[in-house]
C-alpha cells in the first residue's frame, strides 16, 4: 500500500530520523554520513576547498523532515570552516543565511543541536564571526534548541578561549569533532562516562591548541555530549581513557585492568595530529586494539577526546559498527605516522594520482580475528593533510570457520 505524501513527515518523526549537516567534507566531519546513523545532504553539495553549495544545503534542509537536526552554523552561513575565516560577508547576511534552521524547526518540530566556531588567530573575519555568534544568543533560549561554540586551534595567547567565554551559551575547545559529539548528544543523551587519566597530574595539564586544563576540557566535552560523569565504582556505560605518552607500558597495564570490566574508549592526546606508535605496537601485539570500544589520535587533544567519546557512545553494543570505526581510526593513526610524511616527501600539492602508491606501505593490521586490508587511498581535497581509506576486513588464517 502506498502512503499519502502528507504522511511522510510524520513517518520520519516516528522513525526517529536524525539529520546531520556537516561542517565540510573533510573526513572527521563528513565521516558520520557513512555510519548509517543520520541522513546527510547530497554529497555533491560539498565541494572541497571551494566550499559548500549553500543553495543545495538550504533546499535539502527545508525539504527533509526529522526528529533531530545536528548542524554546523559555519557550513550554512559561509560554506565551511575554511571559508568562515576569510569570506567577505556582512554579519546580517550571514544571519539571514541561518534562517532556514528556524524554518525547519517550525515546519517539522524536531530537536535542533547547533555548533558555531570561534575563529582561530589568523582568521581575517574574526570580528564578523564573533558578532554573528553573539547575535545568536537568543536562539539558545528557545525551547528545543541547543547551541554551543567551539574554538578552533587556540595556540598560546590566542584570544579564542576568552572570546568564547564571553558568549552566553556553552563553549569548549574543538571544531572538527563537534558534529560527532552533538550526534551523541542527540541520539544517546545521558551516557554514563568514567574518565581515567594516564596519570593524575595529567588532569591539570594545559594541552596544545586548547588553552584549558585537560580536566576542564573533558568536563565541557561531557556536557556537550549530554553525558553524565560517574566514578568507576558506579558501573559506567563506558570509560574514556586519556593517554598522554608518559608510559605506554603502564597505560597497557591500565587497559588490561579496565577492559575486562568496562567498555573503553581510548583518546591519545600525546601529540597533535599523530598518535604514539609505542602504545599502538603494544595494543596490536597483545590483541587489545580490536577489543577497544573506540580509539582516536588524528587531531588536537580536543579532537581526539571528542571522537573517542562520540564513537564509543554511538556504537556501544554495535559490534560491526565498532570494528568499522576502529578500522577507520587505525588508518588515520597510520596516516599521521607514516602516510602523510611519505606523501609530503615525494609530491607537491595538488596531489597527483601517483600519491595513491602510499597504500603499498600499509602494514599487517589485526582487528578482532580479522585482517584489515587497505585497497586504496583517496585525497578529498587533493592535499596530504587528510585522506580517505578504501579498505576491507578479511578473516585471519585459521579463523574462517568463525565467520
Q: Can you tell me the mean pLDDT for 3-11?
A: 43
Sheet holding 145-151, edge to edge: 18-21, 68-72, 111-118, 145-151, 171-173
Do 1-187 and 188-317 have matching folds? Answer: yes
Helix (H) or strand (E) holding 217: helix 214-224
Q: Can you tell me the mean pLDDT for 141-158?
A: 92
Q: How far apart are CA 52 and CA 152, in angstroms?
A: 19
1-187 placed in CATH 3.40.50: yes
Whether residue 1 has pLDDT greater than 50: no
What would the grid cell of residue 58 be?
538550504
Domain boundaries in the chain? 1-187, 188-317, 348-402
Tell me which CATH code domain 188-317 carries: 3.40.50
pLDDT recorded at residue 66: 97
pLDDT recorded at residue 14: 40
Question: 68-113: per-residue pLDDT in tens?
Answer: 999 999 999 999 999 999 999 999 999 999 999 999 999 999 999 9
Q: How far apart are CA 247 and CA 227, in angstroms?
A: 28
- Residues with Cβ within 8 Å of residue 91, at least 6 apart in sequence: 128, 131, 132, 135
Taking each helix axis as running N to C, give the angle between helix 248-258 and helix 277-285, from 0 to 180 degrees, rounded to the nearest 10: 40
Do the strands 388-395 and 370-378 form a parallel or antiparallel pair, or are they unpaired?
A: antiparallel
Q: In percent, how much of the chain has pLDDT > 90?
A: 90
Do the beta carbons of residue 171 and residue 118 sit within 8 Å?
yes
Higher-confidence residue of 374 and 15: namely: 374
Q: How far apart are CA 244 and CA 185, in angstroms?
A: 26
Q: How far apart are CA 387 and CA 380, in angstroms?
A: 7
Amino acid at each position: 500500500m502506498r502512503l499519502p505524501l502528507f504522511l511522510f513527515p510524520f513517518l520520519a518523526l516516528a522513525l526517529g530520523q536524525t539529520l546531520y549537516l556537516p561542517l565540510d567534507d573533510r573526513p572527521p566531519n563528513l565521516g558520520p554520513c557513512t555510519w548509517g546513523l543520520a541522513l546527510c545532504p547530497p554529497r555533491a553539495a560539498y565541494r572541497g576547498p571551494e566550499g559548500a553549495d549553500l543553495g543545495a544545503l538550504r533546499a535539502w534542509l527545508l525539504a527533509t523532515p526529522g526528529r533531530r537536526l545536528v548542524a554546523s552554523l559555519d557550513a550554512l552561513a559561509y560554506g565551511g570552516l575554511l571559508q568562515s575565516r576569510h569570506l567577505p560577508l556582512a554579519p546580517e547576511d550571514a544571519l539571514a543565511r541561518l534562517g532556514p534552521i528556524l524554518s525547519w524547526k517550525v515546519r517539522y518540530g524536531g530537536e535542533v543541536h547547533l555548533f558555531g566556531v570561534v575563529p582561530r588567530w589568523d582568521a581575517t573575519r574574526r570580528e564578523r564571526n564573533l558578532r554573528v555568534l553573539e547575535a545568536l544568543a537568543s536562539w539558545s533560549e528557545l525551547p528545543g534548541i541547543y547551541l554551543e561554540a567551539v574554538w578552533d586551534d587556540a595556540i598560546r595567547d590566542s584570544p579564542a578561549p576568552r572570546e568564547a567565554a564571553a558568549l552566553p551559551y556553552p563553549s569548549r575547545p574543538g571544531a572538527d569533532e563537534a558534529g560527532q559529539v552533538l550526534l551523541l548528544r542527540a541520539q544517546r543523551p545521558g551516557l554514563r562516562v568514567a574518565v581515567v587519566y594516564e596519570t593524575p597530574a595529567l588532569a591539570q595539564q594545559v594541552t596544545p591548541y586548547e588553552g584549558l586544563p585537560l580536566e576542564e576540557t573533558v568536563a565541557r566535552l561531557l556536557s556537550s555530549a549530554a553525558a553524565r560523569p560517574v566514578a568507576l565504582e558506579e558501573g559506567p556505560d563506558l570509560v574514556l581513557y586519556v593517554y598522554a605518552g608518559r608510559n605506554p607500558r603502564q597505560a597497557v597495564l591500565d587497559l588490561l585492568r579496565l577492559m575486562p570490566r568496562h567498555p573503553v574508549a581510548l583518546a591519545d592526546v600525546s601529540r597533535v595530529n599523530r598518535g604514539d606508535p609505542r602504545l599502538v605496537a603494544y595494543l596490536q601485539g597483545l590483541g587489545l586494539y580490536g577489543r577497544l570500544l573506540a580509539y582516536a589520535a588524528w587531531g588536537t587533544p580536543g579532537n581526539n577526546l571528542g571522537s573517542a567519546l562520540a564513537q564509543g557512545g554511538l556504537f556501544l553494543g554495535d559490534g560491526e559498527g565498532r570494528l568499522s570505526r576502529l578500522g577507520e581510526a587505525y588508518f588515520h593513526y597510520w596516516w599521521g605516522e607514516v602516510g602523510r610524511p611519505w606523501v609530503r616527501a615525494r609530491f607537491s600539492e595538488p596531489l597527483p594520482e601517483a600519491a595513491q602508491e602510499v597504500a603499498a606501505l600499509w602494514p599487517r593490521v589485526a582487528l578482532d580475528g580479522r585482517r584489515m586490508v587497505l585497497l586504496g587511498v583517496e585525497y578529498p581535497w587533493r592535499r596530504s593533510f587528510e585522506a580517505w581509506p578504501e579498505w576491507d576486513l578479511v578473516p585471519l588464517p585459521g579463523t574462517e570457520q568463525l565467520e
